[in-house]
Structure 1
């Protein structure tokens, strides 16, 4: 586990979100990715500097905190995407 994030959501109730290090995919595993239910149509790797182009700012903050934690070899706690 890299990150535990408490997120206040006034209209939905508070949430606790988790980000885990799922390891790396090799080329064969990447080729085998399929979307069975039609909800997703594609996948791609996104550079860290481009996260905000693909989701809300709080998700970018959350992912950046998880990436920093991964580099330090530990885990961290965040609130609304900002590491504490």
Structure 2
């Protein structure tokens, strides 16, 4: 006689093993999170990483099982000694495979506006960054890689509209 109960009710251990097998065999995504931080003049904080040729938004790659908002909080504290406010989600960007990299999900959160005192209190701490600077939109467009600038521009628009956006490779999906 077979039970009408589903596996998760009949045999919790078998159900857990089934879930573990699925978890082990399903693809994983890389996740990164950045923060759109502004100063009182409306400029955006950019960082110049030593390990790549172009400037970037502050943030970085998530560690295993780390929420994206915690990623930006950790990264800014490790790299700049900055305790940050992580506000609402602005952008989720699906980045297609490129070069040796598989696809990834990139998040940008609202980092709010720093006071003049806060904006002067940064330190380069962990050796990953060469420099940081608050930049205008025009300066950011020149310093960021094109797809990072597209993503950043969408985040700026989401900030202005109050509506988070899903984009692909920095391009709107609608």
Superposition TM-score, scaled by structure 1 size: 0.90
Q: 1:65 aligns with which of 154, 162, 170?
A: 154
The ranges of structure 1 where at least 4 consecutive aligned residues each deviate by more than 4 angstroms after the TM superposition are: none
Q: Distance in 2 between matches of 1:52 and 1:2?
A: 18
Q: Per chain length, whose mean CA-contact separation is higher, i.e. which structure has more relative contact order (CA < 8 Å, sep 6+)?
A: 1
Per-residue displacement from partner, 1:16-74 (whole Å, max 9, x unpaired)? 00000011111111121111112223211121123232121000100000000110011
Q: Which has the larger radius of gyration?
A: 2
Higher share in strand: 2
Q: Distance in 2 between matches of 1:41 and 1:20?
A: 23
Q: 1:8 aligns with which of 81, 86, 96?
A: 96
Superposition TM-score, scaled by structure 2 size: 0.46
Q: Distance in 2 between matches of 1:49 and 1:22?
A: 20
Give the secondary-structure state (helix, strand or coil) at the position aligned to 1:23.
strand
